[in-house]
Amino acid sequence: MSSSSSSPTAAAEASEEELTLTVKWSGKEYTVRVCGDDSIGELKRRICQLTNVLPKRQKLLYPKVMGSRLSNDAVLLSELPLKSSLKMTMIGTVEDDIIVDQVEAPEIIDDFELGQEEVVDIKDKEINKQKLARRISLYKIELKNPCRPGKKLLVLDIDYTLFDHRSTAENPLQLMRPYLHEFLTAAYSEYDIMIWSATSMKWVELKMGQLGVLTNPNYKITALLDHMAMITVQSDSHGIFDCKPLGLIWAQFPEFYSSKNTIMFDDLKRNFVMNPQNGLTIRPFRKAHQSRESDQELVKLTQYLLAIADLDDLSGLDHRNWEFFVEDNSKRRRQN
């Protein structure tokens, strides 16, 4: 697999080619299977799955490849002269106690809005469908509680959605978004709830445990998903980035969930690119100590979730107008 491919056909074959790499770390060798259309970031996620070394802690070394290229998570593997016969070395340390490192995910503030045509192109591109299919086969969602027949599905991000992960506090509860438990309790009456974070599963379980989300008697969390469930896609205007394909959930639980009964809250629009009709962009919860008194986002979103719960098909809604929907619904109730 090399960047020297000159024809479109050769480039396509390089992207689709599966490569088996040997990664050396801490005196052991690990076998990692990747494709040319995977990025360095995706390779690091797969190494993390085998070694528990977080991607941000990994430094990759490979013969005749400059370290700067291997440190760029956006570089596609098809652009590198990788060979199965050569071994890659990974330097990194497992974080046994990540409580001391509250900033696990990279800070992403410069979110972007993709044009409709570009979103459709990414969603329908065959290479991205293949990535999703591979992710479905490799990542198995473990249920914490059974899926409930007849319930819709609410998928929630953590950082800046439920929790201010950048501020500091003696008690994590001080960084929890206001009305979180009330929101989850109300939503649970109509929705199964899954938490999907772009961090490691260890971090997801830690944060949700500290906030009391996993043990609250008034609601149950159906499942937790982490960064390993994400896929890498590429846009013409903004390059390579990760996203959260809901198709992964729908494929594993087709008898319960689909595009018609699923809604996902995230503060980053880019995470919806494989399922734009199901995403609602929540206002980020930052500077918790200053905004705790004024933040009413979850109160308003509770009204929205309950207002649309009786609809047979959520995929036709424009969630960008959710606040107007809540206002109109309130006016109709007052008039009646």
Residue 302 has pLDDT above 50, yes or no: yes
Which of 50-54, 83-87, 102-106, 311-315 is predicted least confidently?
Answer: 102-106
The 3-state DSSP class for residue 51 equals helix
Q: pLDDT tier at 218 (50, 70, 90 boundaries)?
A: very high
Query: Quick one: 71 and 126 in the same domain?
Result: no
Q: What is the pLDDT of residue 239?
A: 79
pTM: 0.80
Q: Where are the beta strands (DSSP E) in 134-196?
A: 152-156, 191-196
CATH number of the domain to which 90 belongs = 3.10.20.90
Residue 7 confidence class, pLDDT cut points 50, 70, 90: very low
Per cent of the chain over pLDDT 70 is: 88
- Assess if residue 301 is contained within a domain: yes
Pick 2 or 306 by higher pLDDT: 306
Mean pLDDT of 222-243: 88
Domain assignment present for 105: no
SS (H, E, C) 276-303: HHHEEECCCCCCHHHHCCCCCHHHHHHH
> Per residue in 244-286, pLDDT tens?
999 999 999 999 999 999 999 999 999 999 999 999 999 999 9
Under the banding of pLDDT at 50, 70 and 90, the label for residue 335 is low
Residue 175 and residue 40 share a domain: no
200: left (phi over 0), alpha (psi -120 to 50) or beta: beta
Indicate the burial class of 165 (C-beta count within 10 angstroms; 0-12, 13-18, 19 or more): buried
288 within some domain: yes
Which of residues 59, 94, 129 is at a domain's end? 94
pLDDT at 111: 57
CA angle, 322 then 326 then 327, to 5°: 115
Supply φ then ψ for residue 130, to 5 degrees. Answer: -70, -40
Same domain assignment for residues 268 and 130: yes
Strand 262-266 to 152-156 pairing: parallel
**pLDDT at res. 236:** 79
Torsions phi, psi for 334 (to 5 deg): -65, -40
In the predicted model, is pLDDT for residue 211 greater than 80? yes
Whether 51 maps to a domain, the answer reads yes
User: Does residue 101 fall inside a structural domain?
Assistant: no
In this prediction, what percent of the chain has a pLDDT beyond 90?
56
| The total number of structural domains that make up the chain | 2
Residue 336: pLDDT band with limits 50, 70, 90: low
Q: What is the mean pLDDT of the chain?
A: 86
Evaluate whether 175 touches 169 at the Cβ level (below 8 Å): yes
> Would you say 311 and 260 are in contact if contact means Cβ atoms under 8 Å apart?
no
Whether residue 2 has pLDDT greater than 60: no
Same domain, 261 and 164: yes
Q: What is the pLDDT of residue 5?
A: 43
Same domain, 76 and 166: no
Residues 73 and 142 in one domain: no
Asked whether residue 292 falls in the same domain as residue 327, the answer is yes
Instruction: Write out pLDDT tens, residues 80-136.
Output: 998 878 899 999 988 764 444 444 444 444 455 677 777 778 889 998 998 999 899
Last residue of a domain, which of 64, 94, 124?
A: 94
Residue 321 domain-assigned (yes or no): yes
**Strand partners of residue 125:** none
Query: Has residue 237 got a pLDDT over 90?
Result: no
* Boundaries of domain holding 23: 8-94
Query: Count of CB atoms within 10 A of residue 85's CB?
Result: 6
Query: The domain spanning residue 127 has which CATH number?
Result: 3.40.50.1000
Q: Establish if 39 belongs to a structural domain.
A: yes
Is 108 domain-assigned? no
Shared domain for 49 and 173, answered yes or no, is: no
Lowest average pLDDT, out of 26-30, 35-39, 123-127, 266-270, goes to 35-39
Rounded Cα gap, residues 313 and 258, in angstroms: 10
Summarised one tens digit per residue, pLDDT across range 174-185 is 999 999 999 999
Specify the higher pLDDT residue, 287 or 250: 250
CB-neighbour burial class of residue 293 (10 A; exposed 0-12, middle 13-18, buried 19+): exposed
Residue environment code for 86-119, b if the CB has 16+ CB neighbours within 10 A, otherwise e: eebebebeebeebeeebebbeeeeeeeebeeeeb
330 and 192 in a common domain: yes
Residue 15: pLDDT band (50, 70, 90) is: low
Q: Answer yes or no: do 208 and 267 share one domain.
A: yes
169, 32: one domain? no
Q: Are residues 150 and 248 in the same domain?
A: yes
